[in-house]
Amino acid sequence: MVDPLLAVIVATVAGALLNTVRGYLNTDEKYDIKKFFGALIVSGFAGIAIAQTITTTGIDVVGLILVGLTAGFSIDYAVSKAKKSIQYVD
């Protein structure tokens, strides 16, 4: 049996990394490794927060993985958009 906390954290990180790959495939620029590590850090902390609150609700492991993937993707997407909007203001 997989530990639910670990499943959520890994799924959240995987979702964020999928978003960085999506961004790389939609641009002509080189892949920036800083984006990879930024996504890893942000989604890691988000995954820990989600795992701590969600495991008490009684969702099975598959549901936790789906929530983690969705959350990781959306967290990295939101952070990416926020960084781009800050760059346009400067």
How many CA atoms does the CB half-sphere of 15 hold within 13 Å? Answer: 26
Residue 88 pLDDT class (50, 70, 90 cuts): low
Structural domain containing residue 52:
4-85
pTM above 0.85, yes or no: no
89 band by pLDDT with thresholds 50, 70 and 90: low
Separation between Cα atoms, residue 18 and residue 79, nearest integer Å: 14
Q: Is the pLDDT of residue 5 over 60?
A: yes
Q: Is 42 a domain residue?
A: yes
> Looking at the domain assignment, is residue 90 inside a domain?
no
Domain count across the chain: 1
Q: What are the pLDDT digits (tens) for 15-47?
A: 888 888 888 887 787 777 787 788 888 888 888
Query: Is residue 72 included in any domain, yes or no?
Result: yes
